[in-house]
Structure 1
């Protein structure tokens, strides 16, 4: 396979941030008068309504390939007012009404259902999600941790003891694939098995784990014809997985590698050999955490980035590299499912727009 499909090894010169890439900070506003009256309390609306979108955003969405589905990780963030919806809303209200409004955003054609990682969802819960989005919308679903964690988690989220259900074919099928497939139908895009960081004792036995992974993947039911765009993807949090043997297991099972942009993993360019080894095939990418926070920096990112209403750490080189990968794959007719967390740069909707602008620029510059 040609390397130019995923871009050359040299990263491009970071582009100048667009006028849409950041939002004003408090420092940008004029200083308030010394004795100004306190602002009136903001009222929350009883209904969530979509934000009116400018012509530039609509034109940008139209310039993107139909095979590309960009989106975010979940949708229940009150700080996205003025970006996705109008007015003040609680996260509880957004969990009930926000998805339908989110799906009206011109760039949001997928979303990652992250809550399924913590507790398996039912067919009726998936059906409810599917009923709220357009026909062309596709979901990215995280498999439950009971299958993907090598250790059983305690209440504080830390692994304490070996998980006997790790990579269980039976649970993977009954607790993840079958409910998602039945509930979402053709709107199922990617089922992601995120294998959490392994304890050192298991990292030393990767060949055994690869065989367990192979057994699980081969036991899963086919997603087509119910979900023609559906793909099984495996995301890892230990770079030791990234070997030809891992790629061979995925290829045999008809699965793909989930490109995981996370501080525990090598940079994007160093993960591309996995995609090349599995070509041709779709792209599944989850941009999870900015490396400035280190491999265990989720809590730090949450403290700094909340309420997720502006960009704090724009990662322009990653945007540019990811755009080149997206353009290379979609130009050849393959689907791309790309979901972005608030922890990537501080505000997922703004990062989505930044990536979309980069993709449009790459496609415009490509020779015809």
Structure 2
């Protein structure tokens, strides 16, 4: 057996298919959906209900013929595309990244929640106001000075956790603190950063009363975080690690020890950028992938490794919240379909009659 996240007995595929829930009605939508073919519908029905796949945001005109029936303006998709995005049966979640740049209000979250079905789940990024160690210049993104409210518990609660709970409620999958790269001076004092993180996580409320399936997760960009001490802080505070598939971090296989240290529990993963572009290649990937309408750089190795971890999680009855960026392979909806196929194929083989 290949190196696995879980004990072998937990790797048996989940057999309970996705619960049949009616998607939002398409009548009256300002963005019309691409009709769903039967193959995609059958693929979605075969996925265990614990698995929530989706993209990272949704406002991409290039998804015409995949998600939308034609190309729409990006501004129209940003305002009205979510309900149409959620009509695609494989899209059972999305990473809501907009709030990273400016905190959202409870009413804004509520409008998003109203556009999707009951079993849809949001992965929400915390504002950079509290998750970035640096105050950055607009446009260039260059760090200008240390952020005096980095991981401030009161601000995190006020500007992120409380509005998200009020607006999204049970449709929260994961609230993610993506910790942007630290300065060299901060990396040299990691015990201080761990204590700061512990203070933040301890101050946050238990999500279970408002969203029984929700979880607080921490995503990082520096490999120096990936230690047993980091895992201990997360476990102590009832949080989990957001598996980050990004060239700034080690490959998935090298992050498995951290996931094992936090087992059992849900899986949160954000597949951000194909490794071939390097740690600073996000903009280069965007230029190469253009309209994000094709899978230009397939990464079957990462996809299969991720599928094994997801199957282990769902097979043990835990939730898996997976968000895939266009920058992972070139087109998020096609990556979602390919990952779903990788997840379902062992299920089909397992149920096939034995000769």
Q: Residues of 2 paired with 1:93 and 1:226: CA distance?
A: 31
Per the TM alignment, residue 158 of structure 1 is displaced from its structure 2 partner at its CA by: 1.4
Aligned length: 330
Match of 2:195 in 1: 211
CA contact (8 A) 1:77 1:307 kept: yes
Larger Rg: 1 or 2?
1
| Cα deviation 1:256-286 (Å, max 9, x = unaligned) | 0000000100000100111100000000000
Q: Does 1:51 align with 2:44?
A: no
Q: Does 1:233 align with 2:233?
A: no
Q: Residues of 2 paired with 1:183 and 1:307: CA distance?
A: 32
Q: Residues of 2 paired with 1:192 and 1:99: CA distance?
A: 20
Match of 1:121 in 2: 104
Q: Secondary structure at the match of 1:94?
A: helix
| Cα deviation 1:85-141 (Å, max 9, x = unaligned) | 101200001011100000010100000110110110001100000010001111110
CA contact (8 A) 2:110 2:168 kept: yes
Match of 2:236 in 1: 252
| Cα deviation 1:133-179 (Å, max 9, x = unaligned) | 00111111000001111111111211111000001001111111000
What TM-score, normalized to structure 1? 0.87
Structure 1 gap ranges (5+): 9-45
Q: Does 1:193 align with 2:161?
A: no
CA contact (8 A) 1:6 1:272 kept: no
CA contact (8 A) 2:165 2:172 kept: yes
Q: Where has structure 1 moved over 6 Å in runs of 4 or more? A: none
What TM-score, normalized to structure 2? 0.91
Match of 1:298 in 2: 282
Per the TM alignment, residue 7 of structure 1 is displaced from its structure 2 partner at its CA by: 8.7
User: After the TM superposition, which of the residue ranges 152-161 and 108-117 deviates more from structure 2?
Assistant: 152-161
Q: Secondary structure at the match of 1:92?
A: helix
Match of 2:164 in 1: 180
| Equivalent residue for 2:68, pick from 82, 85, 90 | 85
Q: Secondary structure at the match of 2:49?
A: coil
CA contact (8 A) 1:6 1:324 kept: no
Per the TM alignment, residue 3 of structure 1 is displaced from its structure 2 partner at its CA by: 6.1
Per the TM alignment, residue 6 of structure 1 is displaced from its structure 2 partner at its CA by: 4.5
CA contact (8 A) 1:330 1:336 kept: yes
Match of 1:333 in 2: 317
Q: Residues of 2 paired with 1:226 and 1:122: CA distance?
A: 17
Per the TM alignment, residue 297 of structure 1 is displaced from its structure 2 partner at its CA by: 0.6
RMSD of aligned residue pairs (Cα, Å) = 1.6
| Equivalent residue for 1:170, pick from 132, 154, 161 | 154
